[in-house]
Structure 1
Amino acid sequence: MTDWMKSLPTAAQEYLEGRRLDEVECIISDLPGIARGKAVPAKKFARQEFFHLPDSIFYQTITGGWGEAAGDEGFIEKDMVLRPDMATTTAAPWTGDWTLQVIHDAYFTDGTPIPYSPRNVLKRVVELYRAKGWEPVVAPEMEFYLVARNIDPAKAIEPMMGRSGRPAAARQAYSMTAVDEFGPVIDDIYDFAEAQGFEIDGITQEGGAGQLEINLLHGDPVKLADEVFYFKRLIREAALRHNCYATFMAKPIGAEPGSAMHIHHSILDTKTGKNIFSDENGGETDAFFHFIAGLQNHLPSAIAVMAPYVNSYRRYVRDHAAPINLEWARDNRTTGIRIPISSTSARRVENRLAGMDCNPYLGIAVSLACGYLGLLEKEQPDAQFKGDAYDGEEAIPRELGAALELFDEAKKLHDVLGPEFARVYSIVKQTEYEEFLGVISPWEREHLLLNV
């Protein structure tokens, strides 16, 4: 093992023990959360301090198109400087040779961070907390589906075939038998996660056919976003080994529940290490209520980041395991903002609005940004909701166009996330939305062709 490898995270060193490293994947998240970058021979990586990619990767839509977001210089695709964060080094255990992955951070050539790089956006928000003497802590939950292979976009997505030879059954939430149906895939997920040094807090069957949830331990927001970014790839790779797909679409199957990325938040006082949501007697503090108020006041403007695609809004369906409003309550899964049962030291606020299709860096960043504004504004939330929140009025945008309009008007949110990020993000998402509006759907052809 060469000298530079001796400072790598323990899991990466153990993965390479007695083996020769062949390749290093130098990666960075674009706006959708796709890993972009280069694969380089290990010897070359050892010699390089950085590499270049064009800034246009942050202007690219999910379809491969481009948003006109390059600014006054025009679309010249100037180079960014990408520097490795060696603490993120981890195995790529599904590859045919011995390969490591390293997440990189993006900078302009003058050394300043690229403001619309998703990891930089999250770092910016975390630093705003730290400047106030607060340490944000998050715990994301990842919901996803294992589905049958589908290479025809016109064909409806179907559940995968389980080991019993029958399609995965719906409405079997928390069933261990249902989890066993996907045993070989789950075994590979565990094996890949162990090789990468990730600790899974648990895997459960959710309510949809072939829908699973993975919980991660709470911790630093950037580190947890890195893990979700890595997990999406490893889960997809595990599924492909067993002739199925893993999808993180918010609503892949119309009759089944959607997939969320619930985000749990708590905040520690930097000096004392204590949770600022609990007082000395274990009671709820003003900061606790201010954080909730921030979510209620600013989440409508943040939905365009947490629900970034037209499909995302199909998840927000009354009585279908997804919130339709911004009510808050203790131990109530029908509300958009839930306070789980916990000890006073672990008191936390759960945001249930974010979809699993969001970029994990941006989803966590914008959720923290809403809470941060609440802590600064020091307002009180609405009264705690009692009963089934699905009986309440809808209070969130129901389609991407309306969500983008709210986001564009949210100058306070832009100041926290970064105005330049807000500008680029809005242009790229509007471009995607217009691309979608140019597509005629099967529903339109079936019902309108001969009837209107």
Structure 2
Amino acid sequence: MSAMGSLIDRLPEVAQVYLGGRSIDEVECIVADLAGVARGKAMPGAKFATQTRFYLPNSIFFQTITGDWADNALDAGFTEPDMVLTPDFDTALPAPWTADWTLQVIHDIDDQQGQPVPYAPRNVLKRVVELYNARGWQPIVAPEMEFYLVAPNTDPAREIEPPMGRSGRRAAARQAYSMSAVDEYGPVIDDIYDFAEAMGLEIDGILQEGGAGQIELNLRHGDPVRLADEMFYFKRMIREAALKHDCYATFMAKPIEGEPGSAMHIHHSVVEIETGQNIFSDAQGDETPAFGHFIGGMQRHLPSVIALLAPYVNSYRRYVPDFAAPINLEWGRDNRTTGLRVPISDADGRRVENRLPGMDCNPYLGIAASLACGYLGLVGQIAPGEPWVGDAYTGDDNIPRGLGAALDLLRGDDAIRDVLGHAFCQVYAAVKDLEYNEFLQVISPWEREHLLMNV
């Protein structure tokens, strides 16, 4: 059998169906960096078929969102040794927006001694899942993705505007759940559905959110690593679908002044591997102590991982009272004003929804951080506070309000650092410190408007 034929036989069914007996023109060999940006190499399919691995420097994880390098991220210094990247063929999916027959493949990342690179985001999530597995548990997550479709914006000095709809008018705000609002940009939604079908990605539903041009996309529940892979793919695919129709898709936490921010809500449950039983419910269908401990762990440790859930200075503009985002760590039953919500469900579906993550976070790191907090609650048997009744915006604001304060909390929580990995936390903090310092050098229009002539 030829190398290409052998490769095609190893692909998931969805990729084989997509190719329909054709050869692969190109393969994108990719990984997610700290920001969730796809890094890697593209190569002809024939060459990929003959390779078992390729190499990238470890410095791809030391790069800020602006392109600078945190050369102090590791104690060993900035020497840029190669990492070994091996294809995970289970992740081989089509890139249906391309002009030829292209596949994307996420790669596993090891050092030259064969050990997982500890600051690679996908490896961080795997590490957390393995901690659960070692205790006989399997975490289950179901993410929600909120994003905006906006008009093309080529001048950063210009404010972001909603997209032009089929009616010839700008998309309107405050139209949550409106079907006609979704229809305004129906061609983009149609392509998202078509691309998702070609890629074998399941969508539970798409709806109009409260912002002008703001969409929510719900995913099925399942294995955290697989769902993070899918979100990584979805973000690339949604951007491509929007560009086909002369608009941008943005996952910024707060892209438009005066509009709601975009969240990445994460629903969590935990099942026993041996029995498949949800550990949050007992045989009578009642809540277990483990359910409370999971919430207690999140209440205690979520402040220390806000730097991962809200990774940019813009992220903190989302945490505004009465603006569809939480301002504290209260928990409540079917209460969307709390940071931690327990949705209505049957015993098997009992779960905790973390409403703190923004859509700008890396999905691998957002899910890892959230699960890490719940894990520490389970193993430490941390009791939760009393459930909040009523409007939680009347409660105290007890999450960090800026990236600098959030990074200090991350550095100070040894338990979280043990779960996520000390090397990862060191690299992440170094990169984010550099980004924050870069931001502080920028003078904003607000400062020029109010300070130039008045102070």
Do Structure 1 and Structure 2 share a fold, with TM-score over 0.5?
yes
User: 1:105 Cα deviation (Å)?
Assistant: 1.4
1:233 aligns with 2:249: no
For residues 139-191 of structure 1, give each alpha carbon's deviation from its aligned partner in whole angstroms, at most 9, with x where no partner exists: 00000000000001011101001111000000000000001011000000001
For residues 249-281 of structure 1, give each alpha carbon's deviation from its aligned partner in whole angstroms, at most 9, with x where no partner exists: 000011000000000000000111010000000
Which of 77, 83, 107 does residue 86 from structure 2 map onto? 83
Secondary structure of the equivalent of 1:346? coil
- Mapped to 1, the partners of 2:446 and 2:91 lie a distance apart of 45
1:51 aligns with 2:63: no
Contact 2:144 2:219 in 1 (8 A): yes
For residues 198-225 of structure 1, give each alpha carbon's deviation from its aligned partner in whole angstroms, at most 9, with x where no partner exists: 0100000000000000000000000000
- Mapped to 2, the partners of 1:18 and 1:104 lie a distance apart of 24
Which of 265, 271, 280 does residue 274 from structure 2 map onto? 271
User: 1:71 Cα deviation (Å)?
Assistant: 2.4
Match of 2:209 in 1: 206
Match of 1:132 in 2: 135
The one-letter amino acid of 1:324's match is: I
For residues 314-333 of structure 1, give each alpha carbon's deviation from its aligned partner in whole angstroms, at most 9, with x where no partner exists: 00000000000000011010
Match of 1:395 in 2: 398
Match of 2:366 in 1: 363
Moved more, 126-135 or 65-74: 65-74
- Mapped to 2, the partners of 1:73 and 1:203 lie a distance apart of 47
User: 1:106 Cα deviation (Å)?
Assistant: 1.0
- Normalising by structure 1, what TM-score? 0.99
Q: CA RMSD in A?
A: 0.8
Match of 1:331 in 2: 334
Match of 2:377 in 1: 374
User: 1:69 Cα deviation (Å)?
Assistant: 3.6
Contact 2:73 2:430 in 1 (8 A): no
Which of 242, 245, 249 does residue 246 from structure 1 map onto? 249
The one-letter amino acid of 1:387's match is: G
For residues 382-440 of structure 1, give each alpha carbon's deviation from its aligned partner in whole angstroms, at most 9, with x where no partner exists: 10000010111101011111111111101100000001000000000011000000111
User: 1:137 Cα deviation (Å)?
Assistant: 0.3
- Mapped to 2, the partners of 1:70 and 1:112 lie a distance apart of 19
Contact 2:166 2:185 in 1 (8 A): yes
Secondary structure of the equivalent of 2:49? helix
The one-letter amino acid of 1:174's match is: Y
1:4 aligns with 2:17: no
- Mapped to 2, the partners of 1:282 and 1:69 lie a distance apart of 52
Match of 1:150 in 2: 153
- Mapped to 1, the partners of 2:449 and 2:351 lie a distance apart of 48
| Dislocated runs of 4+, deviation >6 Å | none
- Mapped to 2, the partners of 1:285 and 1:73 lie a distance apart of 46
Percent identity, aligned pairs only?
A: 70
The one-letter amino acid of 1:175's match is: S
- Mapped to 2, the partners of 1:69 and 1:92 lie a distance apart of 36
Which of 437, 441, 445 does residue 442 from structure 1 map onto? 445
1:176 aligns with 2:175: no
The one-letter amino acid of 2:414's match is: K
- Mapped to 2, the partners of 1:398 and 1:73 lie a distance apart of 33
1:346 aligns with 2:352: no
Aligned residues: 452
The one-letter amino acid of 1:29's match is: A
- Mapped to 2, the partners of 1:179 and 1:342 lie a distance apart of 27
Which of 310, 318, 324 does residue 313 from structure 2 map onto? 310
The one-letter amino acid of 1:404's match is: L
- Mapped to 1, the partners of 2:339 and 2:179 lie a distance apart of 27
- Mapped to 1, the partners of 2:290 and 2:307 lie a distance apart of 26
- Mapped to 1, the partners of 2:194 and 2:23 lie a distance apart of 20
Which of 91, 99, 103 does residue 102 from structure 2 map onto? 99
Match of 1:414 in 2: 417
- Mapped to 2, the partners of 1:405 and 1:300 lie a distance apart of 10
1:424 aligns with 2:427: yes
The one-letter amino acid of 1:395's match is: N
User: 1:70 Cα deviation (Å)?
Assistant: 4.4
Secondary structure of the equivalent of 1:384? coil
- Mapped to 1, the partners of 2:276 and 2:114 lie a distance apart of 33
Contact 2:138 2:272 in 1 (8 A): yes
Contact 1:56 1:70 in 2 (8 A): no
- Mapped to 1, the partners of 2:157 and 2:74 lie a distance apart of 37
1:280 aligns with 2:283: yes
- Mapped to 1, the partners of 2:120 and 2:364 lie a distance apart of 9
1:256 aligns with 2:265: no
Secondary structure of the equivalent of 2:235? helix
Contact 2:26 2:44 in 1 (8 A): yes
The one-letter amino acid of 2:154's match is: I
- Mapped to 1, the partners of 2:16 and 2:74 lie a distance apart of 43
- Mapped to 1, the partners of 2:280 and 2:77 lie a distance apart of 47
Change (3 A) 1:121 1:69: farther
1:115 aligns with 2:110: no
Which of 7, 17, 21 does residue 20 from structure 2 map onto? 17
Match of 1:294 in 2: 297
- Mapped to 1, the partners of 2:374 and 2:191 lie a distance apart of 37
- Mapped to 1, the partners of 2:240 and 2:7 lie a distance apart of 28
Secondary structure of the equivalent of 1:345? coil
User: 1:380 Cα deviation (Å)?
Assistant: 1.2
Q: Structure 2: which 5+ residue stretches go unaligned?
A: none
- Mapped to 2, the partners of 1:134 and 1:447 lie a distance apart of 55
Which of 21, 29, 47 does residue 26 from structure 1 map onto? 29
